[in-house]
């Protein structure tokens, strides 16, 4: 198993740098179920941020991209069940994917809520505004 950094995933998906994209494609296309690429939850959160902010990807395209990554068996996801639960929350809108990961992780750990100053995040189940 090998680890995959956010910038390698970005180059593979966006194909915006000929040299780095070719290297990323060769690496990722060479993954197998027996020799998968490990993707951390933080990598997924960074990926969404980069695709939305730096590349202007719309919510639906990011959602589709995440769904494809999370269902690709050549990727070993740090916590696939948590990542998929966060994706379901992200599909409903109202929160960033990172917020969905935070909420799902906290709820799984037995927290009653995640307190935040982020009003946008409070639109997501699991968050409460700290006032």
Where are the chain's structural domains? Answer: 2-78
The pTM (predicted TM-score) of the whole model is: 0.92
Non-local (6+) Cβ contacts of 80 within 8 A are 70
Q: How confident is the model at residue 49 (pLDDT cuts 50, 70, 90)?
A: very high
Q: State the average pLDDT over residues 33-40.
A: 98
Distances (CA, A) of 74 to 50, 63, 70, 111: 22, 19, 10, 32
Residue 33 has pLDDT above 90, yes or no: yes
Distances (CA, A) of 88 to 67, 95, 101: 9, 11, 10
Radius of gyration of the chain (CA): 16
Q: How confident is the model at residue 41 (pLDDT cuts 50, 70, 90)?
A: very high
């Amino acid at each position: 198993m090998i680890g995959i950094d956010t910038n390698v995933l970005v180059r593979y998906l966006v194909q915006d740098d000929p040299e780095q994209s070719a290297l990323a494609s060769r690496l990722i296309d060479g993954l197998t179920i027996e020799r998968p690429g490990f993707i951390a939850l933080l990598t997924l959160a960074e990926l969404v941020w980069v695709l939305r902010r730096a590349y202007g990807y719309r919510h639906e395209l990011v959602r589709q991209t995440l769904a494809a990554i999370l269902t690709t068996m050549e990727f070993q996801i740090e916590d696939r069940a948590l990542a998929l639960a966060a994706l379901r929350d992200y599909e409903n809108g109202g929160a960033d994917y990172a917020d969905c990961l935070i909420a799902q992780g906290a709820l799984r750990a037995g927290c009653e809520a995640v307190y935040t100053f982020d009003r946008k995040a409070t639109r997501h189940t699991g968050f409460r505004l700290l006032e």
